[in-house]
Structure 1
Amino acid sequence: MTPLIAAAVLLAAVTHAAWNAIAHGIKDQLVAFTLVGGGGAVCGALIAAFAPLPAAGAWPFLTASVAVHLAYMYLLMKSFTLGDFGQVYPIARGVAPMVVTLLAAVFVGEVPDALQTAGVAVASAGLAGAALWGMRGRRKDWPAVGAAVGTGLTIAAYTVIDGVGVRASGSALGYVAWLLLIQGTLLVGCSLTVRRGALVAQLRPVAARGLFGGVLSVSAYGLVLWAQTRGELAPIAALRETSIIAGAVIGAVFFKERLGRGRIVAALVVVAGIGLMFHA
């Protein structure tokens, strides 16, 4: 992983945490994700007008990715409805790296060496510590944890699907454009079906904020897909999940959620794991 790839993934991590925080801050989660998806669809349409069409071999992966992304959006909405941002966001992001490592080894043939495996494991342990710190077994947290874990599994699935699909597409820009256009259009269509005529009035008060979240979402995932055309999936997935550090800080500063010593220590463990991955 070159410094340029690492910088792109770290920027994507911070940007991803920011758009998730914007979505969490809108009380009506269906409205929030409709705006994020709609903003993504508009950006996708603009990019698709100028980017090359993805190659034929990429479309099965693109279609599968749209389905998984819609499941991801639904589970993320449930997570944000049930739990605190600083709790569910780290869990959702922290589940993915180890699962991506396994899937990439089985389906893509990217078998990590010992130091890379250790780095992903240590980083994941730090992510889990940041996620679970402060729960103390409270029963009311477990439905949120379940939704967040499900979100993490969908993240792992679409990371591998898109990692293969974007390499087959011949154009990372074209792939991400059509992914965002199709997924965003379907999400808006589902919302219109559920809310019908009331949706437009519900969107209007938070439209600017939600659409900005959509632009951030496009930027974050575009950077990751570009990185996946130039590096191995597992280390990129693990580095990307440092967004949980940004998420914990955002939760503390903007949502007045407790940060605490435990999450600071967990963040240092994440950094140690990343160091192992780069050393490898």
Structure 2
Amino acid sequence: MDLTVFLAVLAAAVMHASWNVLVKLELDRFLSLLLIQTLMGGAGLLMLLAFPLPAAASIPYAVASGLLHLGYNLFLARSYRTGDLSQVYPIARGAAPLLTLAVTWAVMHEDVSLMSAAGVALLVAGIWAVSLIGRRGLRLDGLTLFFAIGTSVFIAAYTIVDGLGGRASGQPSSYTGMVFVFDAVFLAATALALRGPGVVGQVAPYWRTGVTGAALSVGAYWIAIWAMTQAPIASVAALRETSILVVMLLSARVLKETVSPARLAGAALIVAGAMLIRFA
């Protein structure tokens, strides 16, 4: 992977992790996602105005991405209703790169070197080690596990769709903006249908904090879509999950969490996997 792309994806991982650790919204998970996604939709409109429009061939990909992101948001919110963040997050994020690798290699026949595949495997192993090893009381009921795994399927699906859409668009930046708009419209319509117009008043007081989270999310996914036009989709998908490592470091620094030897070993696996992807 080219050094510029590699560093850009690492920057995206830092942005993604930073918003998850530092941005605190006193809303349930669904409303938090609604607020962030709505603000991202506004950013998407600005991106469509600022950059040349994407090719028409990429519009179906953007629509599909919006629907897949809707499924992701609904499944993720449902997972967190009955499962802890520390248990649901690694399942959702850790399984997705493997699914992405399998589909891009077996179905799309994207060229993935043995070193890249090994890097993805090491990185995913590190994610699971950092997130789960040494934790007591690891319990997920069958329904929560279903939604957590379903979340990972949606992540893999929208990653592949957006990688293909970004390539078909000829303009990854405006394609990203279009995706943000569709994501916002679909989630807002669903929120109004499920919870009524009162959701507007519930999320409005938190817009200032939401702007920070939306800005970081916009930067993170904008970079990811651009990177997938420059490098194999599976490699980018795996590398951006180094956000788990950033979360661990920020939690130790900001939240004063203890970093165990097992988590340090997992961190080493993540770094080793990232290096294999970089030099593949």
Per the normalisation by structure 1, the TM-score is 0.90
Alpha-carbon distance in 2 for matches of 1:32, 1:224: 22
Alpha-carbon distance in 2 for matches of 1:204, 1:129: 38
Please state how far the C-alpha of 1:170 moved relative to its aligned partner: 1.0
Alpha-carbon distance in 1 for matches of 2:262, 2:84: 17
Aligned length: 280
Contact 2:54 2:171 in 1 (8 A): yes
Contact 2:23 2:212 in 1 (8 A): no
Alpha-carbon distance in 2 for matches of 1:268, 1:69: 31
| Structure 1 partner of 2:213 | 213
Please state how far the C-alpha of 1:175 moved relative to its aligned partner: 0.6
Query: Does the residue aligned with 1:201 lie in a helix, a strand or coil?
Result: helix
Contact 2:104 2:234 in 1 (8 A): yes
| Structure 2 partner of 1:14 | 14
Query: Does the residue aligned with 1:112 lie in a helix, a strand or coil?
Result: coil
Per the normalisation by structure 2, the TM-score is 0.90
Contact 2:13 2:241 in 1 (8 A): yes
Please state how far the C-alpha of 1:121 moved relative to its aligned partner: 1.3
Alpha-carbon distance in 1 for matches of 2:21, 2:77: 12
| Structure 1 partner of 2:127 | 127
| Structure 1 partner of 2:245 | 245
| Structure 2 partner of 1:166 | 166
Please state how far the C-alpha of 1:253 moved relative to its aligned partner: 5.2
Amino acid across the alignment from 2:66: V
Q: What pairs with 1:1-280 in structure 2 (closer than 5 Å)? A: 1-21=1-21, 25-136=25-136, 138-140=138-140, 144-252=144-252, 259-280=259-280
Query: Does the residue aligned with 2:246 lie in a helix, a strand or coil?
Result: helix
Contact 1:23 1:29 in 2 (8 A): no
Contact 1:239 1:274 in 2 (8 A): yes
CA 1:149–1:263 in 2, change beyond 3 Å: closer, same or farther?
farther
1:95-145, Cα deviation, whole Å (9 max, x unpaired): 122111111113332132222222211111111222322345633576554
Contact 2:13 2:242 in 1 (8 A): yes
Alpha-carbon distance in 2 for matches of 1:14, 1:61: 26
Query: Does the residue aligned with 2:230 lie in a helix, a strand or coil?
Result: coil
Please state how far the C-alpha of 1:7 moved relative to its aligned partner: 1.0
CA 1:10–1:142 in 2, change beyond 3 Å: closer, same or farther?
farther
CA root-mean-square deviation: 2.3
What is the aligned-residue identity percentage? 37
Please state how far the C-alpha of 1:85 moved relative to its aligned partner: 3.2
Please state how far the C-alpha of 1:154 moved relative to its aligned partner: 1.2
1:134-185, Cα deviation, whole Å (9 max, x unpaired): 3456335765544332222211111111111110001001111111011112
Spell out structure 1 runs of 4+ moving beyond 6 A.
Answer: none
CA 1:248–1:83 in 2, change beyond 3 Å: closer, same or farther?
farther
CA 1:234–1:103 in 2, change beyond 3 Å: closer, same or farther?
same
Alpha-carbon distance in 2 for matches of 1:97, 1:197: 37
Contact 2:25 2:206 in 1 (8 A): no
**Structure 1 stretch displaced more, 28-37 or 194-203:** 194-203
Provide structure 1 residue ranges, at least 5 long, that are not aligned to the other structure.
none
Contact 2:25 2:209 in 1 (8 A): no
Alpha-carbon distance in 1 for matches of 2:95, 2:64: 20
Contact 2:87 2:138 in 1 (8 A): no
Amino acid across the alignment from 2:183: Q
Alpha-carbon distance in 1 for matches of 2:75, 2:159: 16
Alpha-carbon distance in 1 for matches of 2:20, 2:152: 14
Please state how far the C-alpha of 1:215 moved relative to its aligned partner: 1.9
Query: Does the residue aligned with 1:139 lie in a helix, a strand or coil?
Result: coil
Query: Does the residue aligned with 2:53 lie in a helix, a strand or coil?
Result: coil
Amino acid across the alignment from 1:161: V
Please state how far the C-alpha of 1:211 moved relative to its aligned partner: 2.9
Amino acid across the alignment from 2:134: G
Alpha-carbon distance in 1 for matches of 2:206, 2:134: 32
